[in-house]
Amino acid sequence: MATWRPGPEDLRRVFAEQNPWHRTGTVPDVLARPTERPLARGLADRIGDSTAPRRFELVLGPRRVGKTTTMYQAARRLLDSGIPPERLWWLRMDHPLLLRESLGDLVRQVCDASGGRAEQPSVVLLDELVYARDWDLWLKTFYDDQWPVQVVATSSATAVLRDRRQESGVGRWSEQFLLPYLFTEYLDLVGSAIPCDVGGTLAETVRKLPPRLPEPEVLAARRHRFLLLGGFPELLAQELAGEQFDDESRTLLSQQILRSDAVERAIYKDLPQSFGIDNPMLLERLLYVLAGQIGGVLSPTSIGRDLDGMSQPTLDRYTSYLEKTFMIFRLSNYGGSETQVQRRGRKLYFLDGAVRNAALQRGLAPLHDPVETGALLENLAAATLHTLALHSGIRLYYWRDRTVEVDLVFDHPTEPMAFEIASSPRHPTTGLRALAERFPRFAGRCYLVAPEAPFLHPHATSSGVGNLPLDQFLLAVGRQAEAAMIRNLWSPR
C-alpha cells in the first residue's frame, strides 16, 4: 500500500489555518495575549532592524513559560510596525501534516508564496523546531546559501546544545532563553513593581540597593504566593484576573496543571522526540527521586540503588536530558579555575520549585512543613541566580571543602559574589568566611541571605560577611537578569 502524503491543497489549508493574519491583517488576541514579556519586544525590534547583523533566533525554555505566546506577540509587533502580512509566516512543526515534509521544502514554498528577496526576506516563525527532521542542517543551508528568509524558532529542549548542532549554529543563530517568571516580573505583573538601579554588575546593583523595601509584609505575602504558584504565565494570569483562591486551592491547582503540562508532556513527548528515549517511565522515576533531593549534593550510588541498579552512564545521560529540557539544573563544586572545578558531587535544583512539587505530588506539604518551605526558598534564590547566569554567560557554582559549604558562588570575572541562603539571619557564616580566606577575590563580596536579615554590607561587619534580606536579593538579581537578557539579544554570544 502506498504511503499517503499531503498534497498541495492540504498544505495550503494548514498554512491558512496557522496564519490568520494573511486574511485579517492582525494576530488574534487569543494567540497574542496583551501582557507581554520583554523578549517579545526585543525579538520584534531585532527582526525589524535592517541594520542588525543577520542571525536567526532560537527561543529556548521549558514548557508552559509562554514561548509560543511570545512569538505571536512578536508577530503582532511586526505587523503593527508595517511589515506586510504576506511576508510573515507561522509553521507549527509538530503538526501531523508538516511532520511529513522536509523543512527545506516548506520554507521554499513560503519564500515562493511571499515573494521573499534579499532586501525584504520572508519572516518564518517555527514553533517546536526540533520536530523538523535535520532542522540544524536546514538552518545552516538557509544561512550559508543566503535564502531570502529570517527565522525565529522555539524549542522546549536544548537539543541545539548537542555537538553537531552547536557546530552548525556558530555565527548563524543565537539562543534566547525564556524561563519562568522572575519574582520581579511577577511584581510587575500584579502592579507591585519595585524600581531598582541596575549597575554593570550584580555586585554594583547590590551596593545601590535601598536599605528597606516598601511594605515588607505585603512583599513577603507576594513572595509566598509566588512560591506556591511558580512562575508560569497561565497560573499567574489567574492572579492577574483577580480569581480568588486560598493557599490550599492555589497549591493544588498549580501541581495539577504543572504535573500534566510541564512534567508528563516533557517526559513522554519532548524528550523522546529530541533524544530518542525508549523508556520514559524510568526517566519519570528518576525525576521523582531527584525531586526529593532538592538543594542536596547528588549521590549516584544512592540514586542508582533507588532505581533498581541504574548504571552510572545511564544516570548521567538521563539527568542531562532533564537538564536540557529545563526541568532541573546542576551546580559543580567551585575550584578557583576551570581546570579545578569538580564535576562529581553536583548540587541539584529545579528551574522552578513548583515543578518539583508537581513531580513529587506533594499536595499541601509545602504549606505546613518548615523544612519544605526552607528548601523551596533556597531553590527560588538559586533559580533566580541561575537565570542571571544563563542570560549573562557567567558560571554559577556551589563550594564545599570537607565540613564547610557555600550555597551559591557567582563567578563574575571581576566582581564575583557568594551567597549562603538561610531561613534565619542567625545562620552560621563559617562557609562564607572560609571561602573568602581560601579565595581572596571573594573578600568583601560574601552575603548571608535570609528573609528577616537586616541589610548590612560586608564592610560594615566584623566578619566581613554581609547580610542581605531575601527580597532585596531577589530584586537585585531579578532586575540584573532582565537587563542581561535584553543586552544578550542585541549582543548575542
- In this prediction, residue 160 carries a pLDDT of 47
- Pick left, alpha or beta for residue 209 (phi over 0 → left; psi -120 to 50 → alpha; otherwise beta): beta
- Alpha-helical runs (H) found in 292-369: 300-306, 312-324, 353-360, 365-368
Instruction: Name the strand (E) or helix (H) holding 400.
Output: strand 396-401
Q: Report the run of H or E that residue 344 belongs to, with start and end.
A: strand 342-350
The tens place of each residue's pLDDT in the chain, 493 residues long, gives 455 566 788 899 999 999 999 999 999 999 998 888 889 998 999 888 877 778 899 999 988 899 999 999 999 999 999 999 999 999 999 999 999 899 999 999 999 999 888 888 999 999 999 889 899 999 999 999 999 999 999 988 765 444 445 556 667 888 899 999 999 999 998 889 999 999 999 999 999 999 899 999 999 989 988 988 889 888 887 766 666 667 788 778 888 888 888 888 888 887 887 788 888 899 999 999 999 889 999 888 888 888 887 888 888 889 998 998 899 999 999 987 666 666 668 999 999 998 988 888 877 777 778 888 889 999 999 999 999 999 999 999 999 998 999 999 999 999 999 999 999 999 999 999 999 999 999 999 999 999 999 999 999 999 999 999 999 999 999 999 999 998 887 665 4
pTM: 0.90
- Give the C-alpha separation, 418 to 441, whole Å: 10
- pLDDT at residue number 258: 87
Residue 460 · residue 467 · CB < 8 Å: no
- The per-residue DSSP string of 82-142 comes to T--GGGEEEEETTSTTGGGS-HHHHHHHHHHHHT-BTTB-EEEEEETGGGSTTHHHHHHHH
pLDDT of amino acid 156:
81
d(CA 462, CA 458): 8
Strand 122-127 relative to strand 88-92, pairing: parallel
Which amino acid does the sequence have at 93?
Answer: M
Cβ(260)–Cβ(361) under 8 Å?
no
- Contact call for residues 432 and 425 (beta carbons, < 8 A): no
Note the pLDDT of residue 6: 67
| Integer CA distances (angstroms), 470 to 13, 426, 463, 481, in order | 53, 14, 20, 16
Q: Which domains does the chain have, with CATH numbers?
A: 8-177 (3.40.50.300), 183-490 (no CATH)
pLDDT at position 126 = 97
Quote the distance between the C-alpha of residue 223 and its chain's center: 19
CB 194 within 8 A of CB 442: no
Q: What is the pLDDT of residue 164?
A: 46
